[in-house]
Structure 1
């Protein structure tokens, strides 16, 4: 039996050393991968591509463009559900990367179960092991960017491995959400902290060591990071909560989703 993930002794918004916060993600996802996939696997699907908890799919949105026969890279892929959908439904040559070995282990199990084979590579999205201009599109759905203090490096690496004209598309928690408590009900509709407070949300153990860190960036921060990487912003998609989706996922749910955006999807292109 797998050991239970460590439980936090403290949590809240505070500054932590970048090296400590930036390295916590690998251990947290390794420890929590099985629980995460069990809880959210049905919604995500083994061969599905959702941009966020609202349920918007790439099949509906087409944000990557036509990827048939093209090389596509997913960073922060988890169990590679999105890459598997691109390979099986769109005929893309997809490669999935994640920093967590446990998440990639889940990807290999689903590969075998579905017989849709997607290559997986364990890699930090800030230092991708691929040649310059080797992919036609790069994307992540809620991966990598929220869990590192230096997200500009993720954008820079994604731009580096993109071919000219290729797209880098990424979804994150909508920046506005950070001003509100992590409550999916109407009680979560009152702002309780400054939107401009960029201290990360941190969970720590009894010794104060960081177990989990998630970083907030304003809308302007995301745009500046994209521009600094030499990418052109094409669109920002803010999915509305659909009537069919009755599930609650952490701070996302239909009650608050009717009033506040929960996800932002940035569509960018390399010149």
Structure 2
């Protein structure tokens, strides 16, 4: 397996290639497939006047949502140059100002320390090639009492597959580490991490874990094929999305 620098280069190239396929996808108030929304959960609390940073800002739609709620200073970072350009254009089209920068979440030393009231991430934080370093970076950028809220694909999601009219495990839940896949037609590096690994790394970084949400919202009318990656049948058996709220104490 490649070293971390090589992994980031692969993932940047991949995201630059497929960014247009994710324009507006996985953005607040949505936290992810079949997950409860921010409008239901109110994890971010009062946003008006707050300084906010999005890790993996993508096309900028979550930043637009935060600005619509009155966030006072809106920042975003993303590994993909294409995504950063999309985000900048979206904010400009809506006559909003924001500080959007192209950088990896593992290397945000240029961002101000103890500056942000809220750091959030929607289906992006799990792309990190070094979770301990990323969480330490975020911790340093938050003010005391600041909030980190993020969602990611639940670790069980990639282990379950619908085959022969039943759900089966494709591999052990206990296996962890990086793996290379062809995703949307491009090679990328992803990581298997257990829920306990994520929680322990948050604790080790100094965070107080306030809430962990593994609920699913599956409409009764959902008729999605069980063979698709995200399906109602699968979501009724296991949560596709995990959402975590932490506090810097």
Same fold per TM (> 0.5)?
Answer: yes
User: CA separation of 1:248/1:102 partners in 2, compared to 1, >3 Å: closer, same or farther?
Assistant: farther
Q: Distance in 2 between matches of 1:64 and 1:73?
A: 12
Which string of whole-angstrom CA distances, capped at 9 and with x for unpartnered residues, describes residues 207-227 of structure 1?
Answer: xxx930111110111011101
- The structure-2 alpha-carbon separation of the partners of 1:88 and 1:248, relative to structure 1 and needing over 3 Å to count, comes to farther
State the shift of 1:237 in Å: 0.9
Higher share of residues assigned strand: 2
Runs of 5+ in structure 1 lacking a partner?
1-14, 205-209
Task: Please give the alpha-carbon distance, in whole angstroms, between the structure 2 residues aligned to 1:63 and 1:248.
Answer: 29
Indicate the larger mover: 88-97 or 125-134. Answer: 88-97
Tell me what 1:141 maps to.
Answer: 122
SS at match of 2:192: coil
The answer (yes or no) to whether the contact 1:18–1:149 under 8 Å persists in 2 is yes
| Structure 2 residue corresponding to 1:35, chosen from 9, 12, 21 | 21
Shift of 1:60: 2.0
For 1:75, the equivalent position in structure 2 comes to 55
Instruction: State the number of aligned residues.
Output: 244
> How far apart in 2 are the matches of 1:123 and 1:91?
22
Q: TM-score, normalised by structure 2?
A: 0.87
Hey, what's the Cα distance between the residues in 1 that align with 2:170 and 2:33? 22
- Which residue in 2 is equivalent to 1:234? 210
Query: What TM-score do the two structures reach when normalised by structure 1?
Result: 0.80
Distance 2:61 2:154 in 1: 22
8 Å Cα contact 2:144/2:248 also seen in 1: yes
In 2, distance between residues paired with 1:187 and 1:90? 48
Q: Contact between 1:77 and 1:98, CA under 8 Å: does it hold in 2?
A: yes
CA contact (8 A) 1:186 1:255 kept: no
| 1:55 shift after superposition | 5.0
Question: Which among 148, 152, 169 is matched to residue 168 of structure 1?
Answer: 148
Q: 1:212 aligns with which of 188, 191, 210?
A: 188
**CA–CA distance in 2 between the matches of 1:80 and 1:231?**
26
User: Which of 36, 39, 44 does residue 56 from structure 1 map onto?
Assistant: 36
Q: CA deviation at 1:59?
A: 2.1
Cα-to-partner distance string for 1:171-222 (whole Å, 9 max, x where unaligned)? 11112223223x5x89572112101111433136xxxxx9301111101110
Helix, strand or coil at the partner of 1:251: coil
**Secondary structure of 2:237's partner?**
coil
RMSD: 2.6
